Amino acid sequence: MNAPFLPPRAATAPVEAGCGDVTIRQERGQRAVFCGLTGIVWLHRKIQDAFFLVVGSRTCAHLIQSAAGVMIFAEPRFATAIIDERDLAGIADMNEELDRVVRRLIERRPDIRLLFLVGSCPSEVIKLDLGRAAQRLSTTFSPDVRVLSYSGSGIETTFTQGEDACLAALVPEMPRAEADAAPALLVAGALADVVEDQFLRIFSELGIGPVAFLPARRAGQLPGVGPNTRYLLAQPFLTDTAKALEARGATRLPAPFPLGVEGTTRWLKAAADAFDVPEARFEAATAPGRARAGRALEHHREKLAGKRVFFFPDSQLEVPLARFLSREMGMGLCEVGTPYLHRGHLAEDLALLPDGTQIVEGQSLDEQMDRARVAKPDLTVCGLGLANPLEAEGLATKWSIELLFTPIQGYDQAGDLAELFARPLVRRTRLEV
Ligand code: SF4
């Protein structure tokens, strides 16, 4: 879905990086990025007793249906309440209609414990106060069902920012942890269950605990948060969630994101240092994972080393991915486009990028397409809408949305992460043969 470009949030400036400078340039213009509704596709699988009700148009319903088409055999935990055109005088009716839809849904699906009303861009939806509707419905269905709201509108959010808005809506619901409680670790950002379990095992070997995850797998398991909470971001697009956690007293542990061997090790080390884990214990707990991941990466390195990659802005994962591909897989970086760059949360990843890396924040689609044509990268990472035209022009592409659907964090997923980039190159070689 195309949506208007968000205004830049800081001035263009070269950033001092550890091994040289990276240049961050901002661009404004037409962009091709999914809206925040897309996050529902992975979030509804993560929070097992939640339901996402998009309040939107037929376009929103089509987006969700086609993006989540893979779930066709499952009882879906998302739906769209289609709001037709109304004038302001029709708002009271719309609220009644919304209440009716929600009542019917909850009667039919008694397993729902947490209901998200997800806002979208049509003007009829913008007129509706979904925050107030959520409060009203929460009172009606309390204590069985909690109702929260957030916006997935393409005017306010891109693609992964839907997850940020959803998690930020959950933070006020987290119980208060007392200031004198023992330090606790919180991992913020949706991760596949298998990845969470692997991290839990490593944290346990490090002697770090209690450890909790946001979002929790069930609505009633939201962890406490307070001044004793140290948190690690598992995803680089959680600006509002981080702000909300810090407003509750939590402290972020700065680290690169846990992609690849280096990212995972440094991410775990940030927690280990905050919890005073001795060096020898850290070595012992992480050595087997590092060795396994190292072996898994070797296999793909021969296909990726020396190849050049171009990132179109889409998922906000672009900077940590670029760091992984350049430092661990030996790839060259033509351009690293990202819809929005949080300089603080990404400082550790930025510092590891090679000297001279070109980062472009925001998008001016035509200009960026022209630069990609001139650069002729071996691999282009982009959204679904750009992949076909670029393939038709002879460029090998990787859909960035796959990086959200596939478990890629941690040691045991490092090989799968590399394979996601190697596969389009291998396929192209086969086609050429
Ligand atoms: Fe399109 Fe807006 Fe609906 Fe997203 S929220 S599908 S951009 S109309």
Query: Nearest residue CA, atom 3 of ligand 1?
Result: 60
Rounded to the nearest angstrom, the distance between the alpha carbon of 334 and the centre of ligand 1 is: 31
**For all residues of the chain together, what is the average pLDDT?**
89
For residue 64, give the ligand 1 atom closest to its CA.
Answer: 6
Instruction: Please state the domain count of the chain.
Output: 3
Q: Given ligand 1 and candidates 57, 85, 128, 384, which is best to mutate, with the most ligand atoms within 8 Å of its CB?
A: 57
pLDDT, mean of residues 346-358: 96
Cα pseudo-dihedral 377, 382, 386, 387, rounded to 10? 70
pLDDT, mean of residues 382-390: 89
Our answer on whether the CB atom of 63 is closer than 6 Å to any ligand 1 atom is yes
- What is the C-alpha separation between 422 and 325, in angstroms, rounded? 11
312-334 confidence digits (pLDDT tens):
999 999 999 999 999 999 999 99
pLDDT, mean of residues 31-37: 85
pTM score, whole prediction? 0.91
Q: Residue 284 pLDDT more than 80?
A: yes
Query: Nearest residue CA, atom 6 of ligand 1?
Result: 60
Confidence band of 352 (pLDDT split at 50, 70, 90):
very high
Residue at 320 is within a domain: yes
Residue at 205 is within a domain: yes
Rounded to the nearest angstrom, the distance between the alpha carbon of 407 and the centre of ligand 1 is: 26
Confidence band of 16 (pLDDT split at 50, 70, 90):
very low
Query: 140, 157, 174 — which closes off a domain?
Result: 157
Residue at 174 is within a domain: no
93-141 confidence digits (pLDDT tens):
888 889 999 999 999 999 999 999 999 998 888 888 999 999 999 999 9
> 276 and 314: one domain?
no
> 378 and 330: one domain?
yes
Residue at 197 is within a domain: yes
> 104 and 225: one domain?
no
Which positions make up the binding site for [4Fe-4S] cluster? 35, 60, 121
Query: 122, 157, 192 — which closes off a domain?
Result: 157
> 329 and 394: one domain?
yes
Give the domain CATH number at 383: 3.40.50.1980
> 147 and 214: one domain?
no
Residue at 27 is within a domain: yes
Our answer on whether the CB atom of 37 is closer than 6 Å to any ligand 1 atom is yes
- What is the C-alpha separation between 425 and 93, in angstroms, rounded? 54
> 29 and 82: one domain?
no
> 117 and 57: one domain?
yes
Rounded to the nearest angstrom, the distance between the alpha carbon of 400 and the centre of ligand 1 is: 19
> 321 and 276: one domain?
no
Q: Which residues constitute the domain of residue 262?
A: 184-284
Query: 157, 174, 195 — which closes off a domain?
Result: 157
> 210 and 328: one domain?
no
> 369 and 421: one domain?
yes
Residue at 93 is within a domain: yes
61-93 confidence digits (pLDDT tens):
888 887 766 454 456 788 888 876 665 566 668
ipTM: 0.98
Our answer on whether the CB atom of 3 is closer than 6 Å to any ligand 1 atom is yes
Q: Which residue has the higher pLDDT, 294 or 64?
A: 294
For residue 152, give the ligand 1 atom closest to its CA.
Answer: 5
Residue at 409 is within a domain: yes
Contact present, 427 and 378 (Cβ < 8 Å) = no
- Provide the pLDDT for residue 223: 95
Residue at 221 is within a domain: yes
